[in-house]
């Protein structure tokens, strides 16, 4: 069982927090999709604590375990030439060791295609 409810595990982020996916590269088995590296999104769920797949993949016990978050991104921000609608989203589960705090969005940067219907 990969889920372990370890109460000692500190949870760095909470629902509603803005987070940025670390832009670092990776070698070997990694669950963080490359298209999300460096992208900023919002935590919409906290799934609990899971053993680290990046070491589990190499037959190691998988500790320290990682808090796993559900993070929502705006498609129009993830893809430069996104052809869908401004309301479209993508949600991905990201382990805490790939997330950095991001500043709350200010009004400085107008979002593309905000108007729409």
Partner 1 sequence: MHDHGPHDDHDHDHDHGDPHAPQKDHDAGPASPYEVLEQAIRELLIERGVLTAAEISAQIDVVDSRSAELGAKVIARAWVDPDFKQRLIADTRKALLELGIDIGTIAEFRVVESTPQLHNVVVCTLCSCYPKMLLGIPPAWYKSLAYRARTVREPRAVLAEFGVTVPKDVAVRVHDSTADLRYVVLPARPAGTEGWTEQQLAAIVTRDCMIGTALPKVEAGHA
Applying CB under 8 A, among 13, 50, 54, 76 the residue interacting with partner 1 is 50
Q: Are 32 and 2 in contact (CB under 8 A)?
A: no
Task: Check binding of 3 to partner 1 (CB under 8 A).
Answer: yes
* Nearer to partner 1 (CB atom), residue 22 or residue 88: 88
Min. distance of Cβ 85 from partner 1 in angstroms? 5
3-state SS record for 12-46: CCCCCCEEEECCCCCCCCCCCCHHHCCCEEEEEEE
Query: Which one of 13, 21, 95, 99 is in contact with partner 1 (CB under 8 A)?
Result: 95
DSSP 69-82: EEEEEEHHHHSTT-
Rule CB under 8 A: say whether 6 interacts with partner 1. no
Angstrom distance (rounded) from CA 106 to CA 34: 26
Among 19, 43, 90, 99, binds partner 1 (CB under 8 A): 90
65 lines the binding site for partner 1 (CB under 8 A): no
Contact residues toward partner 1 (CB under 8 A) are: 1-3, 31-33, 35, 47-48, 50, 53, 68, 75, 79, 82-85, 87-95, 116-117
């Amino acid at each position: 069982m990969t889920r372990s409810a370890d109460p000692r595990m500190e949870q760095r982020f909470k629902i509603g927090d803005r987070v940025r996916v670390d832009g670092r590269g990776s070698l070997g088995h990694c669950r963080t999709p490359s298209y999300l590296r460096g992208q900023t999104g919002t935590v919409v769920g906290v799934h609990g604590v899971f053993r680290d797949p990046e070491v589990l993949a190499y037959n190691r016990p998988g500790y320290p375990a990682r808090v796993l978050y559900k993070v929502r991104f705006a498609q129009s921000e993830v893809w430069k030439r996104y052809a869908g609608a401004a309301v479209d989203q993508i949600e991905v589960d990201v382990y805490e060791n790939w997330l950095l705090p991001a500043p709350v969005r200010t009004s400085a940067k107008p979002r593309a295609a905000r108007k729409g219907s």
